[in-house]
Amino acid sequence: MKNNNTHLIFAIVFASVLIAASLVFAAGVYGYINYYSTGDSSQGSFSEKMEQYIAAKQGEEQARQLAAQKRQEEATKGVRPIDATDHVQGDRDAKISIIEYSDYECPFCKRNHPTVQKVVNDYKGVVNWAYRHLPLEFHDPNATDQAEATECVAVANGNAAFWIMNGEIFERTKSNKSFPFKQLEPLVKELGFDVAKYNACMKSNETLSIINQHKVEAAALGISGTPANILRNNETGEVRFLPGAYPYEAFEAVIEEWK
C-alpha cells in the first residue's frame, strides 16, 4: 500500500512538472512572438502572432539553406575540369560541362539521369557531361559493384560502352540495393560486350582505384550526397551547383545565361 501511495505521489508530481513546463514553453514562445513581431503584447491575437512566428522561422531556415548552398558552390569551384580520364557525352571541347557525382542505387540519381541526358541532347556542341562515381555506403555493395561493372565494360569496349551500360543500369534498377551483382554479368552478355574480359576485370578490381579517386574528389569538394551536379563554364571557370534531382528548367536557366 505504501508503494502504491509513493507511486501515486510521484505520478502527481511528474504530471505537475510537465504542465508547468508546457506553460513556461508557451509563455516563452508567446513572448518571443510579441517581441520579434511587434514588440507590443497588446496587439494581435495569439494565432496571428503564431503565424508571424512560424513565417519568421521559415524565413530563417530558408536563409540558412541559401547560405549553405553558397558555401557549397564556393567549394565546388575547385572541381577538376573534364580531362582524358573522364567518360564524357558530347563535345569534349564544349563551353559548358555538367560534372555529375552519382550513385547507381540512388533513387534521385535515377530521376536525375534522363534529365541530364535530355539537356545534353538538346544542347549539342554547347554542353558535355562527365559521370563520376560516388557510391554511398548504405547502397553498397551493389552501388560499387555497378560502378566497377561500367568501368570494366569500358576497359574492353570504350567510352560508348560505358554510357550504354550506365544507362541500362539506371533503367533497370529500382534503386536502394535492388539490382544485385548476379544480374550484372547477364546484362553485359545481353548488351553484346566481351564477358570474359569483363569477368577478368571485375575479378582483378583494377577499376576500383577510379571509383575511389572520384570519392576522394567529392569529399574534397564537400559533397556527401547524390546526385551532385556541377555546371562549369569552361571559358570563365564559373560554376553553379545543383545538388539533387533538379528539373530540366534549372539546367536550362544556367546554360542560357552562359551560352
pTM of the model: 0.74
Which element (helix H / strand E) includes 91? Answer: none
Written as tens digits, the pLDDT of the chain (259 aa) is: 444 455 545 555 455 545 544 544 444 444 444 544 444 545 567 677 667 777 776 776 677 667 666 676 777 889 999 999 999 999 999 999 999 999 999 999 999 999 999 999 999 999 999 999 999 999 999 999 999 999 999 998 999 999 999 999 999 998 887 778 999 999 999 999 999 999 999 999 999 999 999 999 999 999 999 999 999 999 999 999 999 999 999 999 999 999 9
The DSSP secondary structure of 116-151, one letter per residue, reads HHHHHHHTTTTEEEEEEE---GGGTTHHHHHHHHHH
Straight-line distance from the first to the last Cα atom of the chain, in angstroms, rounded to the nearest whole number: 84
CA-closest candidate to residue 258, choices 112, 131, 119, 121: 119
Around Cβ 173, how many Cβ atoms within 10 Å?
22
Say whether domain 80-258 belongs to CATH 3.40.50.620. no
